[in-house]
């Protein structure tokens, strides 16, 4: 520790008198030696983050940087790709439309954002999940196979452009990979009583 050797030197220059041994705990105001902060002190000060905050940060990190365990991959569940996958059902359509309209400063129509069974089932006749009315309404996707049929709110950097107001289904969704991470963290951060 560099600061400790600095203090020792200062004591040595003061005739070798060790003030820490001759004073009381209240004498700190009389110290001539300024004790610099340990570089790591700030990191250890205050309350530790909550379990929920740690899990939320781990989810955000995983989905943005190591989606499904692939380094540099992000937001794979915001696009359909080639698999049988659907972003629905959306159960807070009204809330989302209201928040989106207020974010954009103009009225946004239901059909601009969501797809119903009638339309979606024709788009992917070979995909089972798209043939189940229970999965609707779903998020409208960009009908372009060359870019993997992404949600229209996914930007080119694989970030959600409506992150703060995104539908609940997006907020709640945990793929099996992320589910495992969350389960492990839940267990490790809050182990069962012995």
Q: Which residues here bind ligand SF4, judged by CB under 6 A? A: 62-63, 67-68, 75-78, 87, 139, 151, 153-154, 160, 162, 166, 170, 173-175, 177-178
Name the helix (H) or strand (E) containing 114: strand 114-115
Contact 89, 134 (CB under 8 A): yes
CB closer to ligand SF4 out of 7 and 108: 108
CA end-to-end span of the chain: 39
Cβ 114 to ligand SF4, closest distance in Å?
11
Cβ 63 to ligand SF4, closest distance in Å?
3
Compute the C-alpha angle 171/146/120, nearest 5°.
55
List, in sequence order, the alpha helices (H) in the chain: 2-13, 19-22, 41-44, 51-65, 93-104, 110-113, 117-123, 168-172, 176-189
State the chain's maximal CA–CA distance in angstroms: 90
Cβ 26 to ligand SF4, closest distance in Å?
54
Bond into 183 cis (ω within 30): no
Cβ 108 to ligand SF4, closest distance in Å?
13
CB closer to ligand SF4 out of 115 and 178: 178
CB closer to ligand SF4 out of 115 and 160: 160
CB closer to ligand SF4 out of 33 and 92: 92
CB closer to ligand SF4 out of 10 and 97: 97
Cβ 167 to ligand SF4, closest distance in Å?
6
């Amino acid at each position: 520790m560099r600061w400790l050797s600095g203090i020792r030197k200062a004591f040595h220059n003061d005739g070798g008198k060790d003030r820490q041994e001759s004073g009381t705990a209240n004498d700190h105001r009389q110290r001539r030696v300024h004790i610099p902060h340990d570089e790591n002190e700030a990191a250890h000060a205050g309350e530790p983050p909550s379990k929920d905050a740690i899990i939320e940060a781990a989810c955000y990190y995983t989905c943005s940087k190591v989606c499904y365990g692939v380094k540099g991959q992000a937001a794979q569940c915001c696009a359909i790709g080639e698999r049988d996958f659907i972003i629905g059902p959306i159960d807070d359509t009204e809330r989302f439309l209201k928040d989106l309209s207020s974010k954009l400063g103009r009225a946004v129509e239901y059909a601009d954002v969501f797809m119903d069974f009638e339309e979606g089932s024709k788009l992917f006749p070979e995909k089972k999940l798209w043939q189940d009315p229970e999965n609707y309404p779903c998020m409208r996707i960009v009908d372009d196979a060359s870019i993997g049929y992404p949600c229209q709110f996914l930007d080119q950097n694989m970030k959600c452009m409506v992150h703060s107001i995104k539908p609940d289904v997006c907020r709640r969704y945990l793929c099996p990979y992320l589910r495992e991470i969350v389960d492990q963290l839940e267990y490790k951060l809050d182990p069962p009583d012995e």
